[in-house]
Chains A and B, each alone.
Chain A
Amino acid sequence: METLQPVTGLALILSSAAKIGAVFTTVMLVVAYTTLAERKVSAWLQDRVGPNRVGPFGLFQPLADGLKNILKEETYPARAARLFFILGPMLALIPALVTFAVIPFAAPLPTPWGVVDMIVADVPIGILFILAFSSLGVFGVVLSGWASNNKYAFLGGLRASAQMVSYEVALGLSLITVLMLTGNVTLTRVVWEQQQMGFWFVFPLSLAFILFVISAFAETNRLPFDMPEAESELVTGYHTEYSAMKFSMFFIAEYAHMLTASALMATLFLGGWDIPGPWDDAFWYQGQLIKGFAADGSVLLAAPSVLKTLVTLVAFALKTGFFLFFYIWVRWSLPRFRYDQVMALGWKVMLPVALGYVMLVAGTMLVLDELGMRSGGFAYGLVLTAVSMMATVGFVVFLDRGRTIAGAAAQRAQKVEIKTIPSPAGD
């Protein structure tokens, strides 16, 4: 049986070009249709109809919005710093579009010329690249807020920078636990380790998942963390002075960040393109595409197929789509925080908890290694799940502190009587 080889030469160049084109187009299309989905889901949650005039079910609405924004008049505030004012939206948009490149989106695809990895660039720095580039987005926000020379925009930019740097610490620390379990920073390896363990990391690292989701919401400036654009306080925050396509660019950047964050949550904690079971497992191990190891340590070769690639692609899209929906769902479920609450949560809760959790997971893993479970596997995941569950329950109980959940439970136990207003005596 001939071993599977990665594509080389001309086929590699052509396949890479095709992947870049496909990913860029898909990101732009998904962003466009997420804006429509946002309005449709918002309408649904509020019992309205939503956009339904442009095309069937309003499906051409993003197209119409784009066209309108290109043809609208641009305004330049007289006192704005022209150069930075124009540079701002570009700086916000560029990093948002690039970060998707290191996320694997399907199982490797076999072709007559070799196996094509379903990832734009499988660079050895993986997660670090995403951390670096996604934090570059804050420059565009701060710069445009400052350059607008508008008090609201300036305050929005400042708030955005303080909030984004505060939650980046917790975001980075929650990722540390994932790195410990995978022993590598590439996202292909993250997916592979989840397949090998038989656990998606959302279970053995449940608290890291919660911290990551909260931080990602803060990083993308989405409700309940949308202080930089709180319209009741700051008009629309840092992009108050922007109109036409420049406003659109901020919009695209925000949704592209949302898409990348959703894809990251799916990849890091929900197995990426993985479908439970060994059916689709595939990873490059010492030049061979394998799906696992036999009991005696020999490798089991993977059997990639076009069907597997397509099915895993759908699985990845569904997981990412779920988190995109979750973003919109949360937006209409939770009210906006006060700014001091945002900062207090970031520094006094998220940071210490993340630090403690990193050391807890590290200690647990070393103890498990001592006990002779070095090879990892299902039992390893089970113990980590139990430890993480206890940490998560403790975290939730601490956050709740007898308020929402405990309060509601107590209320139900008391069987609160519904008091009616007594009617006047003469009635």
Chain B
Amino acid sequence: MSGAYLPLLLLFSISVVNAVGMAVATHVLNPYRPTPQKEMPYESGMIPLGDTRARFSVKFYMVAISFIVFDLETVFLVPWAVQMRELGWSVFVAMLIFVAVLAVGLLYEWKKGGLEWD
């Protein structure tokens, strides 16, 4: 079945060539006359204050960590889902326990305020 992936590889190469081609074409074809004003970050016409590389809210990290947990859960559910009808009740109960454990985790995070944005 490895032959099935060849068209995929070809389409991928076309997309890469297309993306690089667009970037190169625009670089070659357009004028480039920089001025200090043009090179300034656009912040609605204001002179930018401070640095962008500042600290930002820890909530974004929290979301990323929760995502890893629950996306992995989805990954574990996939192989069970495609074989669910053959595996029957015993595996269903096992998955129920698995999902319940993660649901308790979600509930804990929720009650601890990990999902509050304000």
A interface residues, Cβ below 8 angstroms from B: 16-17, 19-20, 23-24, 69-79, 86, 89-90, 93-94, 97-98, 101-102, 120-124, 128-129, 148-152, 154, 158, 161-162, 165-166, 168-169, 172-173, 176-177, 179-180, 182-185, 235, 240-241, 244-246, 248-249, 339-340, 343-344, 347-348, 351-352, 355, 358-359, 362-363, 365-366, 369, 374
10 A-B pairs, CB-CB below 8 angstroms? A74-B32, A93-B15, A97-B15, A129-B8, A152-B42, A162-B59, A169-B70, A246-B26, A347-B110, A366-B92
Q: Using Cβ atoms and an 8 Å threshold, which residues of chain B touch A235?
A: 42-44
Shortest C-beta distance, B78 to chain A (Å), equals 6
C-alpha spacing A248/B15, complex, angstroms: 15
Give the 8 A-B residue pairs with the shortest CB-CB distance, closest first.
Answer: A245-B26, A340-B117, A78-B39, A172-B74, A165-B67, A150-B41, A97-B15, A179-B81
Asked, given contacts A152-B43, A184-B82, A362-B84, whether A162 binds B11 with beta carbons under 8 Å apart, the answer is: no
Contact present for B67 and A183 (CB under 8 Å): no
CB pair B26–A179 under 8 Å, yes or no, is no
Interface SS majority for chain A: helix
Report whether A75 and B7 are in contact in the complex, using a CB–CB cutoff of 8 Å: no
CB-nearest residue of chain B to A97: B15
A-B contact count (CB 8 A): 212
Q: A74-B27, A343-B63 are in contact. Are A150 and B43 (CB under 8 A)?
A: yes
Bound complex: CA of A69 vs CA of B25, how far in Å?
11
Contact (A73, B31) CB under 8 Å given A20-B11, A89-B23, A355-B103:
yes
| Nearest Cβ on chain A to B39's Cβ, whole angstroms | 4
CB pair B63 A173 closer than 8 Å: no
Given A244-B26, A246-B26, A366-B92, the answer on whether A20 and B117 have CB atoms closer than 8 Å is no
Interface residues of B in 6-44 (CB under 8 A from A): 6-8, 10-12, 14-16, 18-20, 22-23, 25-27, 29-34, 36, 38-44
Q: Chain B residues near A165: list those with CB within 8 A.
A: 63-64, 67, 71
CB-CB under 8 A for A79 and B41, given A23-B11, A120-B8: yes
B112: A residues at CB distance < 8 A: none
**A158 (CB) vs chain B CBs: closest residue:** B60
Residue of B nearest to A16 (CB): B7
Residues of B within 8 A of A179 (CB): 78, 81-82
Partner of B12, one of A94, A152, A352: A94
Instruction: Give the distance in Å from the alpha carbon of A173 to the alpha carbon of B81 in the complex.
Output: 10
Q: Is B4 on the interface with A (CB-CB < 8 A)? A: yes
Min Cβ gap A237→B in Å is 12
CA distance A173 to B41 in the complex (A): 40
State whether the Cβ of B47 lies closer than 8 Å to any Cβ in chain A.
Answer: no
Q: Which residue of A lies closest to B74 (CB)?
A: A172
Choose one: A76, A78, A98; the contact of B8 (CB below 8 Å).
A98
Which one of B18, B29, B41 has the highest number of Cβ atoms from chain A below 10 Å of its Cβ? B41
Q: Which residues of B contact A173 (CB under 8 A)?
A: 74, 77
The one of A97, A121, A151, A355 in contact with B41, judged by C-beta atoms closer than 8 angstroms, is A151
- Select which of B12, B32, B40, B70 is within 8 A of A78 by beta carbon: B40
Other A-B contacts than A94-B19, A120-B8, 4 sampled, CB-CB below 8 A, are A93-B19, A162-B59, A358-B81, A359-B99
- Distance A122 CA – B99 CA, assembled complex (angstroms): 32
**Bound CA span A182–B81, Å:** 9
Q: How far is the CA of A74 from the CA of B34 in the complex (A)?
A: 9
From A97, A120, A176, A248, contact of B18 by CB (8 A): A97
**Bound form: Cα–Cα A371–B83 in Å:** 19
Of B1, B32, B43, B110, the residue contacting A151 (CB under 8 A) is B43
Chain A residue nearest to B14 in the complex (CB): A24
Chain A neighbourhood of B67, CB < 8 A: 165-166, 168-169
Q: Which residues of A contact B82 (CB under 8 A)?
A: 179-180, 182-185
Asked whether, in the complex, the Cβ of A245 is within 8 Å of the Cβ of B41, the reply is no
Closest A residue to B8 using CB positions: A121
Closest to B49 in A: A151
- Of B38, B81, B96, chain A has the most CB atoms within 10 Å of the CB of B81
A77 to B78 CA separation, bound complex (whole angstroms): 44
- Contact status A148-B11, CB under 8 Å: no
Knowing A363-B92, A366-B89, say if A161 contacts B60 (CB, 8 Å). Answer: yes
Is the CB–CB distance between A76 and B11 below 8 Å?
no
B84 and A71 within 8 A (CB): no
B33 closest partner in A (C-beta): A73
- Residues in chain A near residue B103, CB distance under 8 A: 352, 355
Contact of A162 among B15, B60, B71, B88 (CB under 8 A): B60
